[in-house]
Amino acid sequence: MQLPSPAKLNLFLHITGQRQDGYHELQTLFQFIDLCDTLHFSLNEESDVTISPEIKDLPTQENLVYKAAKLLEPFRKKTTYGVAIRLEKQLPMGGGIGGGSSNAATTLLALNQLWQCQLSLEKLAQLGVQLGADVPVFVMGFSAFAEGVGERLQKVTLPTPYFLLVKPNCHVSTCQIFTDKDLTRDTPPIRISHALKLGGHNDCLNLVRKYNPEVNEAYLWLKNHGDVKLTGTGACLFLTFNNAHDAEQVRATIPEKWQAWVCRGCNVSPTHDVLNQWIEKNKG
């Protein structure tokens, strides 16, 4: 089985409070984009889970793909179902586009089929939130207005514009931003109707710009071309366009030191599109 594992954007990110355990209550609008890693799954006669190729500075045991497989292992129907997983990475790590969470969700969805675990999407999402706050939305596979730590999801249908996504040359630690004393944590909660009509802002933006000069520089550069947004805790920034041509025109002039992609928003995760075709083909 071969599945795409897409990135997400936080179209806005409001932090509305903090729980006793330190995690933050937030409100966000999640949209998938058609920029994806690809995960290949092959069952074998062994009983273990192997991941290839090795990712620099990421031991296998810490790879969210490995952790997701281990989390699902108790539910597999036969212990002789080992699996070899090959990861074709394209999404930058630590960019705020949720690559690791997406890979984890894709693994849960794939192995739920291949190992015949027969868990519902809701159950997979519940398991997945242990791996990261962004895993549930990738498991459920629809654009969503999210609350709680990102696990309370309401399905929404969003316009599907083109985005110019830019990765400044730095890595932002989600943990560092969320533990900063100056982070705004008291944005008043909004209603979903307000969110869909008027959007919102990203409460992490100013801190991320302050600690990461590269993000600030890219922000100021992109500002000349539209309303720049930060996704998650960064480092990626994005602009929205009505058509691919206009996005490509700006991309062509971006300083070479920054990675940049033109991509499109989608309301259904590409993982689900391909998985549903696989399920249809392998019925009976």
Ligand X SMILES: Nc1ncnc2c1ncn2[C@@H]1O[C@H](COP(=O)(O)OP(=O)(O)OP(=O)(O)O)[C@@H](O)[C@H]1O
The partner in contact with residue 175, picked from ligand CDM, ligand X, none with C-beta cut-offs of 5 to 8 angstroms by kind, is: ligand CDM
Residue from 29, 28, 52 nearest 42 by CA? 52
Q: Where in 124-143 is the site for ligand CDM (CB under 6 A)? A: 132-134
Closest contact distance (angstroms) between CB of 4 and ligand X is 14
The partner in contact with residue 24, picked from ligand CDM, ligand X, none with C-beta cut-offs of 5 to 8 angstroms by kind, is: ligand CDM
Find out whether 105 and 271 touch, Cβ atoms under 8 Å: yes
* Residue among 93, 175, 220, 268 that touches ligand CDM (CB under 6 A): 175
Give the CA distances from residue 176 to residues 171, 179, 183, 211, 235, in Å, rounded to whole numbers and listed in that order.
Answer: 11, 5, 10, 10, 13
Residue of minimal CB distance from ligand CDM? 132
- Single out the segment in contact with ligand X by CB under 6 A; choices: 17-25, 98-106, 185-193, 210-218: 98-106
- Exposure string (b/e) for 165-179, b if CB count within 10 Å is 16 or more? bbbbebebebeebbe
The partner in contact with residue 178, picked from ligand X, ligand CDM, none with C-beta cut-offs of 5 to 8 angstroms by kind, is: ligand CDM
The partner in contact with residue 168, picked from ligand X, ligand CDM, none with C-beta cut-offs of 5 to 8 angstroms by kind, is: none
Residue from 83, 76, 84, 105 nearest 8 by CA? 105
Distance CA 73, CA 47 (A): 10
Active-site pick, 67, 78, 123, 134: 134
Distance CA 151, CA 201 (A): 20
Residue 8: active-site member: yes
Distance CA 63, CA 138 (A): 17
Closest contact distance (angstroms) between CB of 154 and ligand CDM is 15
Vertex 176 angle, CA 98 and 259, to 5°: 45
Q: Where in 15-54 is the site for ligand X (CB under 6 A)? A: none
From residue 186 to residue 225, the character string flagging contacts with ligand X as x (rule: CB under 6 A) and all else as - is ----------------------------------------
Distance CA 10, CA 162 (A): 14
Counts for the chain of helices (H) and strands (E), in that order = 10, 10
Residue 134: active-site member: yes
Catalytic positions: 8, 134
Q: Which residues bind ligand CDM (CB under 6 A)?
A: 10, 13, 22-24, 26, 28, 96, 98, 101, 132-134, 149-150, 174-175, 178, 232-233
